Amino acid sequence: MDRREFVAAGAVCGLGLMAGCLDDALADVTSFSATPAVVADDALEETGYAYQGTEEVVETRTVARQTVEATNFASEYTRTIGILSTVLGDGPAEADAGLFGVATTPQVGLLGEEFNPVAELSTAEIARRVESQFDEVTLDNETVVDERTVESLGETVVLETFEGEASMYGADDIPVRADVSKFAHDGDLIVVAGAYPDAAAVELFQDEPEAERIDTLVAGLEHDSDVTLEMVD
Q: How confident is the model at residue 180 (pLDDT cuts 50, 70, 90)?
A: very high
Q: How confident is the model at residue 169 (pLDDT cuts 50, 70, 90)?
A: low
pLDDT at 134: 57
d(CA 203, CA 211): 11
pLDDT at 138: 76
DSSP designation for 10: I
pLDDT at 13: 37
d(CA 97, CA 201): 12
Distances from the Cα of 158 to the Cαs of 48, 102, 180, 219, in angstroms?
Answer: 23, 14, 8, 12
The answer, yes or no, to whether residue 14 has pLDDT greater than 50, is: no
pLDDT at 203: 61
| 180 phi and psi angles, rounded to 5 deg | -135, 155
pLDDT in tens, 20-44: 323 333 335 688 899 999 999 999 9
The answer, yes or no, to whether residue 230 has pLDDT greater than 90, is: yes
pLDDT at 37: 98
| 10 phi and psi angles, rounded to 5 deg | -95, -70
pLDDT at 85: 53
pLDDT in tens, 108-145: 766 566 667 777 788 888 888 777 665 566 777 778 99
Domain residue limits, the chain: 3-224
Residue with the bigger pLDDT between 172 and 163: it is: 163
The candidate with the shortest Cα–Cα distance to 222, out of 198, 188, 194, is 188
d(CA 89, CA 172): 9
The answer, yes or no, to whether residue 233 has pLDDT greater than 80, is: yes
